[in-house]
Structures are given as structure tokens and as C-alpha cells.
Structure 1
Amino acid sequence: MKSMPCLIVIDMQKGMSWPQAGERNNPNAEQDIIELLAHWRVHHGPIVHVRHLSDEPESLFWPEQDGALFQDVFQPLPHEMVVEKPVPDAFIYSELASWLRDQQIQDLVVVGVSTNNSVESTVRSAGNLGFNTYVVQNACFAFAKVDFDGYERTADEVHAMSLANLDGEYATVISQEKAFALLSAAVGQSQ
């Protein structure tokens, strides 16, 4: 029997919603993540919440201050796995890979922020570790950034390039509807 895919919610912390985080894309990403989270919970699917705790005191995500806390609507339930990380990649310095393997989870559905940082870093590792990894395009978002040559890139451009880096090599980029279908198919197989 195939296990259900695991929903991995990356860095949905209060600091990500503050203006100083920067200009972003996908303004409805939070709503899409909320819907995915609700769907996973209704079907008792595995969920991992990832939280960045920075080593830099000036960071929005310095431990024990408001920016590092989960946003209220993304509070983990007591039985849901929480991974705390000091670097963008949720697999580094954590038990995430071994926990997923212990749960016999092979399929990962990744959402959160930011697409080109913690999402991309985590997804690259997931793909390299052999997990079947899916990134929900509209349930992630990025921030505007200046590229290496000094050109300002919009949040949409940063997001699109990051998804292009991932799709087909480390993961498959999918829609929210496809994510629902993946879970539904696994629920149907387990009955």
C-alpha cells in the first residue's frame, strides 16, 4: 500500500507577511496554502511545518521574537511534525529525511516561501534524496531581487525562474488542483 503524500509548508512565519520582507508575488498564496492544509487535515495526510530560525540577530527570524513565530492560520496541530532550520534547506541539520523514511513517505508536496530560497533549496535536496517531489506553483511566493548583473527582477520573474530551475530535474511543478488529486488518489488506494 502506498503512503499518502506529505504536505511540507515552508516558513509561513509572521516576518514573511511584514512589509520589510519586500515586494512579493502570488498575493493569494496564503489562501491556497490554507486550502491545501485543510484538505490534508480532513484526509489525515501527513504534514510537516518548517520554520526558519536565523543565526543573525538582525534577522526577522531571530528566535524568540514575533517574526520567527508561525502566522496564526499556519499554527501546527500537536500531532503535526515541526522542523526548525538555521539555513534555507529543511533537510540540513534536521531529522526530516529520516522521519519521512520512517513514515514510509515517498511523495512530497511543497508550498511556502520563498520560492527561490527555502523552497528551492529544500526541493533540490528532496529530489537529490530520491523523493517524488511536487511544488505547488501558486502556493509559493518570492520577493523582488536584484540579479548578479545588477538588474532588478520582479517577484514574478524570480518565482518563475526558480520554478524553471526545479521543474523536471528536482521536482514537478503542479497546480493546487493537481495537489488535491495526488492526495485523493492516495486516499482512494488506502481504502
Structure 2
Amino acid sequence: MQFDANTALIPIDVQQAFDHAPWPPRNNPDMERNGLRLLEAWRASGRPLIHVNHASVVPGSTLAATHPGHAFRPGYEPRTGEPLVTKSVNAAFIGTDLDLRLRRLGVTSVVLFGISTDMCVSTTARVAANLGYRTIVVGDACFTFDQPDADGRPIPADTMHRAHLATLRAEFAEVVDTDGLLAALGPRELRATG
């Protein structure tokens, strides 16, 4: 796995909303820790970083801009000078200037992580690939939720997570883990996470 200066990290919807009802049980309790490791190393590398958050227009949503859940999880707030793209649908490229920002930066590859694996991360990855970006998803820095199937039978979050990462790997993205990505970034960035 190789990364150059034209690779951007895009954390997606790492917000407090998902800790509020009515969100069902989730998987991957290591998501937050892994994501913070990625952020720290990426900042040390000097590569582009664009944050994405969700401002829902659905009445009563925990992701609405006026709900406390709209806030970033601790440690995920953009720092001074780090751009933020706000979306209201699943794909971070739809109705936003994300593609324009990336093109102006000369970005050719994107690294995605966040919430949730099967919704906003997956949808953004699919659009990124269709737009011609080399797309990498950090699977162990994402999580998702239990979901009912069409007959109302529960599908565990971990099954949803694994199935969606498998689909992304088959057609749209490289799927990697945090340790592998950090190793590919190189010694300077690894020191930053020690």
C-alpha cells in the first residue's frame, strides 16, 4: 500500500448523534480509538484532511444541526484551518463542494472512515470510486448498527459491517485496517501515534 501527497483523509460523520436513541446496538468498540490514531498520524504527515459531518433535515433526527448529537465526538473536532464539509444526504459528494475542494488540492486518492459502514461511509466510497478517485476504506475505523431485514429479522451489526466492506472491496475500494495504513504512512507518522 502506497500513499503520496495527493491522498486526502476524510473522516465521515464522527458525531455524538449515534449514542442517542433510537439508534440500535453497534459493532466495533475500537472505532473511535482507531480513528483518532489515523487523525494524529495524518496531521503529522501534512497530507490533506477534510472533515465531513451530517446535518439532517429530517424532523427529530439526532443529526439535526439543532440537536446536541450534531456535535463531533471528543477529539474529532476540526482544528483551526482544517476544512469541514456539511452534507444532508448519505454521500458526502452530493450537494456539497467536496469534489471541487479535492480537485483544487490535486487529490487523486481518498482514505475514508467513520459512521456508519453501510450508510454514509459506503455511499461516499461508491461515489468517490465512480468519480475516479482511488478509494481506500479503513474498515476497523468504522462501525454500523444492527438492522432488520425485509421480514423484520435482525441482522447483527458485525454481519452488516463485514458484508458491506466485502462489497466495497469487490468493486469500489481497497479495504485496509488502521495498523496497515499507519505502517504504509511511514516512520515519521508512526512516531506521532506512539
TM-score, normalised to structure 1, is 0.91
Instruction: Provide the secondary structure at the position in 2 that maps to 1:72.
Output: coil
Asked if the contact 2:117/2:143 (under 8 Å) is kept, the reply is yes
> Partner residue of 1:122?
124
Counterpart residue number, 1:52: 54
CA distance in 1, matches of 2:71, 2:153: 33
Cα contact 2:6–2:106 (8 A) shared by 1: no
Q: Structure 2: how far apart are the matches of 1:42 and 1:140?
A: 21
Q: Tell me the distance in 1 between the aligned counterparts of 2:21 and 2:57.
A: 21
User: Per-residue CA shift, 1:28-82, capped at 9, x if unaligned?
Assistant: 1000000000001112221111111111121001112211111221000121121
**RMSD across aligned positions (CA):** 1.6
What is aligned with 1:82?
Answer: 84
What is the aligned partner in structure 1 of residue 71 from structure 2?
69
Identity value in percent: 36
Instruction: Compute the displacement of 1:19 (Å).
Output: 5.3
* Contact in 2 for aligned 1:3/1:104 (Cα 8 Å): no
Residues of 1 paired with 2:80 and 2:46: CA distance? 13
Unaligned runs of 5+ in 1: none
Counterpart in 2 of 1:145?
147
Could you tell me which residue of structure 2 aligns to residue 113 of structure 1? 115
Higher mean Cα deviation, 140-149 or 118-127? 140-149
- Counterpart in 2 of 1:178? 180
Distance 1:96 1:28 in 2: 27
Contact kept, 8 Å, 1:135 with 1:172, in 2: the verdict is yes
Write the distance in 2 (CA, Å) between the matches of 1:179 and 1:17: 27
**Is 1:158 the equivalent of 2:160?**
yes
Amino acid at match of 1:10: I
8 Å CA contact retained: 2:64, 2:70: yes
Residues 134 and 172 in structure 1, CA contact (< 8 A), matched pair in contact too: yes
User: Structure 2: which 5+ residue stretches go unaligned?
Assistant: 190-194
CA distance in 2, matches of 1:93, 1:7: 20
Q: Which residue of 1 aligns with 2:192?
A: none
1:3 deviates by: 2.4
CA contact under 8 A between 2:8 and 2:50: conserved in structure 1?
A: yes
Aligned length: 185
Counterpart secondary structure, 1:167: helix
Matching residue within 100, 103, 110 for 1:101: 103
Report which stretch shifted further, 98-107 or 142-151. Answer: 142-151
